[in-house]
């Protein structure tokens, strides 16, 4: 997991905990489960753009884990709220709309 993705996860946890600490803990567990699933089944997520794939966070479908498969490794690049302009997501991943 890249440092930016770790920061994303922490920021999302804090944001959700402002609404409900219990919900934030469930989100953290669901994010851990998504990461574990990807380590076992790298092609589980849907293709997003370019080399990036997206795995929805079960139980929190407004959130996604963005990653790429690099050889034998899964590199998590971002965890984001999906309720934003797709161009912002592409920009965060370093992709253009021509991608």
Q: Per-residue pLDDT tens for 82-97?
A: 999 989 999 989 875 5
Residue 5: what pLDDT? 86
Closest to 9 (Cα-Cα) out of 74, 57, 73, 59: 57
* Ranges of H-type helices in the chain: 3-17, 21-40, 86-93
pLDDT digits (tens, 9 = 90+) for 4-45: 889 999 999 999 999 999 999 999 999 999 999 999 999 999
Enumerate the domain spans of the chain: 2-92
pLDDT number for residue 8: 92
Q: CA dihedral defined by 77, 80, 54, 42, rounded to 10 degrees?
A: 50
- pTM: predicted TM-score of the whole model, two decimal places: 0.88
CATH class of domain segment(s) 2-92: alpha beta
| Residue 99 confidence class, pLDDT cut points 50, 70, 90 | very low
């Amino acid at each position: 997991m890249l440092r930016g993705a770790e920061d994303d996860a922490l920021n999302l946890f804090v944001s959700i905990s402002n609404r409900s600490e219990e919900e934030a803990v469930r989100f953290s567990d669901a994010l851990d489960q998504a990461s574990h699933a990807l380590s076992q089944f790298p092609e589980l997520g849907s293709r997003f753009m370019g080399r990036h794939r997206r795995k929805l966070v079960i139980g929190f479908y407004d959130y996604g884990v963005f990653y790429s498969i690099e050889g034998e490794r899964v590199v998590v690049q971002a965890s984001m709220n999906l309720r934003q302009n797709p161009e912002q997501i592409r920009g965060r991943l370093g992709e253009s709309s021509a991608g």
